[in-house]
Amino acid sequence: MKRAFLFPGQGAQTVGMGKDIYEKYEEARKIYDKASEISGIDVKKICFEGPEEELNKTENTQIAILTTSLAMLEVLKSKGIEADVATGLSLGEYGALIYAGIISFEDGIKLIKKRGHYMGNLLPKEEYAMAAVIGLESSKIEEICNKLQEQGKFVVPANYNCSVQTAISGETDAIDEAIELLKMAGAKRAIKLKTSGPFHTMKLEEAKKAYEKELENVEFNVLPLNEQKVKVIKNLDGTYYRSEDNVKDVLANHIINPVRFDKAIQLMKDEGIEEYIEIGPGKVLTGFIKKDNKEATTYNVNSLESLEEI
Q: Which residues are catalytic?
A: 90, 200
Give burial (CB, 10 Å; 0-12/13-18/19+) of 163.
middle
The Cα–Cα gap between 169 and 97 comes to: 26
The Cα–Cα gap between 123 and 125 comes to: 6
Asked whether the beta carbons of 86 and 232 are under 8 A apart, the reply is: yes
In 3D space, the residue among 270, 258, 257, 261 whose CA is nearest the CA of residue 296 turns out to be 270
| Number of Cβ atoms within 10 Å of the Cβ of 221 | 12
Asked whether the beta carbons of 99 and 230 are under 8 A apart, the reply is: yes
The Cα–Cα gap between 307 and 304 comes to: 5
List, in order, residues 6 or more apart from 245 with CB less than 8 Å away: 222, 234
DSSP 8-state class, residue 58: H
The Cα–Cα gap between 59 and 49 comes to: 16
